[in-house]
Structure 1
């Protein structure tokens, strides 16, 4: 049975729900012994045909009836489509590219998160320089009523580890932002740094990345990340960041 379930999962992740419906309709009119010849013609690509052949072979090793298999296919397709619609994940990359993999650019992804925010935006970064497109988008978000929160690493003179005052600079560039720092670091986090680089909009979209808020990170460095829309991750990340504020682990600067 596991072999059949694996074949069903492979099929519904490869073809559209409409195509699964067509396969299920053919299954209802076919016995397991004839599936290998009757089913592959329903799909139109070599890869899909191979997966359908695997389904047919796995079906012959079970006692599952035609109606039961058809129902299993439709149910699996519905669950897969629903899960996919609730959360999508995209690869984000800045740096040298190849013709073989397409990915969103870091600046693109960050701007998408900022521009999508309707109520709240929380961004964390180790350092932040003047990236004009990001600053413009942040101020535009404020103008449409978005509450902006930013957690940044402190300047060395203020107890942090970076050699310039990124927080002071950001206060000048985005005056409306609520700026936070990680000052009081109890064991085992003494000497810790704000190395998390994330952006969360409304608890429904987040960007998790290696990139700081710098021009080099947006344009020149090799940086990797993921852009996640929907699902639980963005909500959990937003809740965690706000809990750090509420419990005063990070504090207003």
Structure 2
């Protein structure tokens, strides 16, 4: 019967906690962020401090601080980088075999079953090649989301936005968002809805292949602070059904084009 080697006898620190952290980060963050963290780890604590100083997302900055504490405690920087990349690759394989994932924003628990909303949305937008559909009630987006949508539009992705509008809902308090992004903009006119009705769906569909459906609006609070839950559905069946339903409403005049 084989035994796991004693790390202390091999001169390698006991990094069970670091291994757990690598798995947690791979579940929460997009692959591109894990790659940055691994590269920073190879440079040791100075590399992580530099990444923390320049990272836009709070999740990446928090990961830098947690990883720094392990390196300060004696963990090998090359081993830490390898753990991160190995966990990230394992997570990619897992996602390729599973068609539904739970996505959360909010406090962490002892049950690690999901990924962060901000990471999933960023990854989805970055993966788009042909078209993006975003539906939301409120839209006060973080700068990172606006930048990601701008990059998608710049590479030729057709962006369609269906957002609640003050003119269509007297109780809605919000302005026009993403003004600099070239997009097809739809609305649900006041005259086409029941009194008091709100455009309350929160949906992102990528290339009619992947859909994220949940409670999170396109806001900084929904991505980083609130308690939010969504389901990420891979495969065209559900994505096509969502797009088909909204296309049908637009063709019937229930949804109309803005501008």
Same fold (TM over 0.5): yes
Structure 2, gaps ≥5 residues long: 1-94
Match of 1:169 in 2: 177
User: 1:183 aligned to 176, 186, 189, which one?
Assistant: 189
Moved beyond 4 Å, runs of 4+ = 84-87, 184-187
Q: CA deviation at 1:244?
A: 2.1
Matched, 1:159 2:168: yes
| Number of residues of Structure 1 aligned to a counterpart in Structure 2 | 163
User: What is the CA deviation profile of residues 164-219 of structure 1, one whole-angstrom value per residue up to 9, with x for unaligned ones?
Assistant: 32xx232x242x011111004446x3321110000001110010010001100000
Larger Rg: 1
Mapped partners of 1:108, 1:224: distance in 2: 13
Residues 1:148 and 1:162: Cα distance change in structure 2 (over 3 Å): same
User: What is the CA deviation profile of residues 85-129 of structure 1, one whole-angstrom value per residue up to 9, with x for unaligned ones?
Assistant: 786101101101112223111111112221221111111000101
Query: Matched residue of 1:232: which SS?
Result: helix
Correspondence 1:98-117 to 2 at 5 A? 98-117=109-128
Correspondence 1:190-229 to 2 at 5 A? 190-229=195-234
Mapped partners of 1:136, 1:147: distance in 2: 15
Mapped partners of 1:119, 1:202: distance in 2: 6
Residues 1:87 and 1:242: Cα distance change in structure 2 (over 3 Å): farther
Mapped partners of 2:204, 2:168: distance in 1: 24
Q: Note the aligned Cα RMSD (angstroms).
A: 2.0
Residues 1:180 and 1:132: Cα distance change in structure 2 (over 3 Å): same
Matched, 1:234 2:245: no
